[in-house]
Chain A
Amino acid sequence: MNVTTEQMRRERIDRGIKVRSDGLYALMSWRELSYLMTPRTILIVGMLCLPLLMPGAYWQRVMSIVCIYAFLAVGFDFLAHYVGLVSLGGAFFIGVGGYFSAILNTTFGLPPLVAIPMATIAGAVLSTILLLPCLPLRGVYFAIVTLMYPLFAARLIEAFDMLGGTDGIMGLDSFPNPMLEQYFIIGMLLMMLFAMRRLVNTDLGLVFRAVKDNDQAVRASAMNVTFYKALAVFIGSLMGCLAGACLAHIYMWSGISQFALDFSILPIAATVIGGSGTLVGPLIGCLILVPASELLRDFGTLRIAFYSLILVGFIVFRSDGIMSWGQRKYEQFERWKKI
């Protein structure tokens, strides 16, 4: 019996610099500091430069749309991978935020920069209240119900012919100038992104993750699961409603097409492609997917089919996404090892 079956496996080990810069020692040298700062700086500077690098007004507009989707995607990622609530109804948040902002702007005459924050908060409160009955549900059930919400809202608006009916609310004020629009949205996005990253590492974030992993344990610790879920939905819908409010002012219009499927499916695709559970990944996914879908605009609805297929491919074969892959390469090295 002289058969040798020598097998190798790949071993991943954290880089020394990653380990050194994990704790307080990061402050010891510029090298460690720059190791920590580089990815963040690239992200922030890159995002801030993007509007300047775009060739024309059309692509600048596309960048705003990227950020709109990124809000939704980050919200989806937070709800799905940190709280365990898979919300397929991103469009609902967009619609609620958009309509609120439209009403505040056209009826009460508030300028966009006042109407947007108010619409964000009011919309998030309303979304949370409306979703409250479904919060005890888990997994598939919650996903199904949230999928219904945008459809439900669109049908109700159609049926009652309220809020402008099928025409929507027209004649909203746009942002004072395009640069302000861009930087307002990008600034809010970066702020939200880093706030979220910080939030998931606080005690509250810990509770959220506990709700996802084992909600019975949370209940056994005398914490109200539904309360924490409601809080998470509030945070998630804040981002969705902010996106919706901005979108309404960008297009100067708010209508039932804001409850359309696009706003539900694209952020999910972006999250899966960018890397689920990383919070930055969804933004990267949006930066890839939204311009790609603009380029594919000539193909009409085929582009939805196209990115659905990409989505299926990623979810089946590369379910960790770009960001997780990049993070692994950045933080760890690999070597082959005999078993």
Chain B
Amino acid sequence: MEILIYGTINSVALALYALGFAMVYGVSRLPNFAHGALYVLSGFITWTVLNTLGLNYFLSILVSFAATAIIGALIYQFVLIRIRGMEISEIIASYAIALAILEGMRWAGFKGMNYTLPVFIEGSTTIAGVTVDVHRLIVVAAGTALFGLLWVFTRYTRIGLALRGMAQDERAALMLGIDSDVMAVVAMGMGSLMAAMAAALLLPLGNIVVESGYNVLILAIAVCIVGGIGSWGGAVLAAFIIGFAQILTVVFIGPHFQQVVALFAIIITLILKPSGLFGQQKELEERV
């Protein structure tokens, strides 16, 4: 029972990490290696606004959402758009941006264990004999709500439909009057917003540390690859597979191996079925 509950929580967390990355890659084929950096950046913005400017917690979270989304969109508009389509350059540039953000924050003094955000609601409850923090339950609820909203957004709004159109066939989308550059900026902004949302939900559970930027990136990539890039349902399923695998490893083997699971999952998936569990791309394009 413990495994079931904590596995679910962990899986939702993983899915939250991956959502923004999956969105950006799905729409504009840009592997956004700065995703983890944006996640941590948003946490620090919240912390700074909350503790330095002394704003309300809820308001400071909103400020960090807006700031992160704008930063993401700006990064795309001024840097990444110029090297669109050049895979090597895209990876290196977005990775370098991530490093610049993360190491810049480390230099600015955000290091150590003393940066924490308060949880939304203190306390814990008992479900089926297992004690769970209320905040973790909020994570699951909010995460599920977010997936639902996103599903509605991509199916019933104009921008959402445009994004899906871009993801499916960019040229056809162009012919139907969808400006692909604008949409790519929107996608990047939304991807960053989702990183910020994940940060707001998950960071109160631990410390804000710069290193988590790299971990989030790896986990996001792991989930996206295992699930199949371009398939959000696959990403959620993959999040559950990896999430439960991680919890099972922690329980039965040892906490050291938690990270190793994600890496193993990637390598095995890439070898057996490189387009992922529900990948919609042709295999031939990805491997020889």
Q: Which residues of chain A have a CB within 8 Å of any CB of chain B?
A: 80, 86, 88, 133-134, 136-141, 143-145, 148, 151-152, 155-156, 158-159, 215-216, 219, 225-226, 261, 265, 268-269, 272, 299-302, 304-305, 308-309, 311-312, 315-316, 319
A-chain residues with CB within 8 Å of residue B106 when the two chains form the complex:
300-301
CB of A305 within 8 A of CB of B91, answer no
CB neighbours of B270 from chain A (8 A): 133-134, 137, 141, 145
State whether A305 and B107 are in contact (beta carbons under 8 Å apart), knowing that A138-B288, A219-B288 are contacts in the complex.
yes
Q: Is B176 an interface residue (CB 8 A)?
A: no
Told that A144-B221, A312-B96 touch, could you supply 7 new A-B pairs with CB distance under 8 A?
Answer: A86-B88, A136-B271, A151-B259, A219-B288, A261-B214, A311-B96, A315-B93
CB-CB contacts below 8 Å: B108-132 with A? none
Any A CB within 8 A of the CB of B234: no
Q: Which of B46-54, B62-70, B79-87 contacts A (4 or more CB under 8 A)?
A: B79-87
Decide: B263 and A302 in contact? CB cutoff 8 A. Answer: no
CB distance from B10 to the nearest CB of A (A): 18
Q: Whole-angstrom distance between the alpha carbons of A159 and B255 in the complex? A: 9
In this complex, what residue of B is CB-closest to A303? B103
Closest chain B CB from A229 CB (angstroms): 8
Q: Are B267 and A312 in contact (CB under 8 A)?
A: no
B257 located at the interface, meaning its Cβ lies under 8 Å from any Cβ of chain A in the complex: yes
Bound form: Cα–Cα A159–B103 in Å: 26
Q: DSSP majority for the B interface?
A: helix
Q: In the assembly, what is the distance between CA of A136 and CA of B275, in Å? A: 12
B204 contacts A by Cβ under 8 Å: no
Q: Is the CB of B103 within 8 A of A312?
A: no
Question: Which B residues are in CB contact (< 8 Å) with A152?
Answer: 260, 263
Q: Is B99 an interface residue (CB 8 A)?
A: yes
> What is the bound-complex CA distance between A300 and B214, given in angstroms?
19
From 259 to 288 in chain B, residues with beta carbon under 8 angstroms from any chain A beta carbon are: 259-260, 263, 266-267, 270-271, 274, 286-288
B residues near A (Cβ < 8 Å) are 31, 79, 82-83, 87-89, 91-93, 95-97, 99-104, 106-107, 214, 218, 221, 225, 254, 256-257, 259-260, 263, 266-267, 270-271, 274, 286-288
Q: Which residues of A contact B82 (CB under 8 A)?
A: 316
Contact of B107 among A144, A159, A299 (CB under 8 A): A299
A155 to B286, CA, bound (A): 28
CB atoms of A316 and B83 under 8 A apart: yes
| Residues on A with beta carbons closer than 8 Å to the beta carbon of B96 | 265, 269, 308-309, 311-312, 315
Shortest B108–chain A CB gap in Å is 9
In the complex, residue of chain A having the shortest beta-carbon distance to the beta carbon of B106: A301
A269 to B89, CA, bound (A): 11
**Least Cβ–Cβ distance between B183 and chain A, in angstroms:** 20
A158 touches B256 (CB 8 A): yes
The answer to whether B107 touches A133, judged by C-beta atoms less than 8 angstroms apart, is no
Which residues does chain A contribute within 8 Å of B103, judged by CB atoms?
Answer: 301-302, 304-305, 308
Q: Closest A residue to B275 by CB, please name it.
A: A141
Contact of B288 among A148, A226, A268, A299 (CB under 8 A): A226
- A133 x B87 contact (CB < 8 A): no
- Is B89's CB under 8 angstroms from A301's CB? no
Cross-interface CB contact of A315 among B89, B100, B214, B288, cutoff 8 Å: B89
- In the complex, A299→B106 CA distance in Å? 11
Q: How far is the CA of A300 from the CA of B274 in the complex (A)?
A: 40
CB of A155 within 8 A of CB of B256, answer yes
**For A269, what are the chain B residues with a Cβ–Cβ distance below 8 Å?**
96
Query: Do residues B100 and A309 form an inter-chain contact, with CB atoms below 8 A?
Result: yes
Q: Decide yes or no: A140 and B267 within 8 Å by CB, A86-B87, A302-B103, A308-B97 being known contacts.
A: no
Residues of A contacting B274 in the complex (Cβ-Cβ under 8 angstroms): 136-137, 141
The distance in angstroms between the C-alpha atoms of A225 and B288, with both chains bound, is 8
Q: Inside 8 A of A144's CB, which chain B residues have their CB?
A: 31, 221, 225, 266
A302 to B102, CA, bound (A): 10
Check if A315 sits within 8 Å of B107, measured CB to CB.
no
Chain A contacts for B89, CB-based, 8 A: 315, 319
User: Closest CB of chain A to B186's CB: distance in Å?
Assistant: 21
Do A312 and B100 touch (CB < 8 A)? yes
20 CB-based A-B contacts, threshold 8 Å: A134-B267, A138-B288, A140-B31, A141-B286, A145-B267, A155-B259, A155-B263, A158-B256, A159-B254, A159-B256, A226-B288, A261-B214, A265-B95, A305-B99, A308-B96, A308-B97, A308-B100, A308-B103, A316-B79, A316-B82
Kindly name the residue among B92, B102, B104 whose own CB sees the greatest number of chain A CB atoms within 10 A.
B92
B contact residues around A226 at 8 Å (CB): 288
Contact of B99 among A136, A140, A158, A308 (CB under 8 A): A308
Nearest residue (CB) in A for B91 is A143
Q: Which of A148, A265, A268 is in CB contact (< 8 Å) with B267? A: A148
Do A137 and B287 have beta carbons less than 8 Å apart?
yes
* Closest residue of A by beta carbon distance from B25: A140
How distant is B275 from chain A, measured CB to nearest CB, in Å?
A: 10
Chain B residue with the shortest CB-CB distance to A272? B92
Beyond A133-B267, A136-B288, A145-B267, is A301–B95 a contact (Cβ under 8 Å)?
no
> Closest Cβ of chain B: how far from A47's Cβ, in Å?
27
**Is the Cβ of B91 less than 8 Å from the Cβ of A138?**
no
Q: Choose one: A140, A145, A155, A215; the contact of B91 (CB below 8 Å).
A: A140
CA–CA, A272 to B96, complex, Å?
A: 12
Contact status B99-A304, CB under 8 Å: yes
User: In the assembled complex, how far is the CB of residue B30 from the closest CB belonging to chain A, in whole angstroms?
Assistant: 10
Nearest 10 interchain pairs by C-beta: A159-B256, A308-B100, A302-B107, A308-B96, A304-B103, A305-B104, A136-B287, A305-B103, A308-B99, A311-B96
Contact (Cβ within 8 A) A312 B257: no
Minimum Cβ distance to chain A for residue B126 (Å) = 33
